[in-house]
Amino acid sequence: MQVTAVSLHHDDHHMTISSTRIRAALQAGQVDLATTMLGRPHMIAGLVSQGDQRGRTIGFPTANLALTDQLHPAFGVYAITATIDGHDEALTGVANIGQRPTVNDRGVLAEAHLFDFASDIYGKRLEIALQGYVRAEQKFSGLDELKAQIAQDCQTAKTMLAKKHDK
C-alpha cells in the first residue's frame, strides 16, 4: 500500500479544516461556514417519498426526503437550491429539516418547497444544496400560523438566494 501525506488545510482564521468542524458547523446552522470549509454547499439527497400531502392543502406542496442515514444539520428552515433527476433546470426553494413539531408524525424529514414548480416527482432523486439558514424549527398553534410563517420563510429564502446570486 502506498501512502501520500498531505498538509492540513486552514481557514482564514488559521484553524484546521476538518470533518469534525464541518459537522459541528452544520449542526449549529452555520451554513456559510460549512460551505466555506467544504468548498461547496452541503448536499442532502434521496428519493422523494409521498407524505401526507398537508403542504399542498395550505398552498406549499413539498418534496419529502427521509433522513435516516444522513447527517442531520440543525433542525430548521433553509434557503435551498435543488436538482431533480430528469429535469434540466436548477430550482430554488425553502426546506424544513427536522421532526415537524406542529404535526410530528413521520420522524426526521427534509421537506422542500420548490418555487414555481408543480411536477409529480415521487420516486425521483432530489438533491438539495443548503444555501442559507433561515430560522430554527418551531411548533405552531395550528396550520394557519404555520402557513403564515412558511410564506414569510419563502420571502426570506428568496432574498437570501438573490443576494448569493448577485455575488
* Domains annotated on the chain, with CATH: 42-166 (2.40.30.30)
pLDDT at 55 over 60: yes
Neighbour count for residue 38 (Cβ, 10 Å): 15
Which band of pLDDT confidence, cut at 50, 70 and 90, is reported for residue 79? very high
What are the cell numbers at 155? 420571502
Residue 45 makes CB contacts below 8 A (sequence gap 6+) with 65, 125, 126, 127, 128
When pLDDT is averaged across residues 34-51 and rounded to a whole number, the result is: 91
Distance CA 28, CA 30 (A): 5
* 3-state DSSP percent of the chain in helix, strand and coil, to 5: 25, 30, 45
pLDDT number for residue 86: 75
Average pLDDT, the chain: 87
Q: Which of 79, 76, 81, 67 is nearest to 28 (CA)?
A: 76
Which band of pLDDT confidence, cut at 50, 70 and 90, is reported for residue 167? low
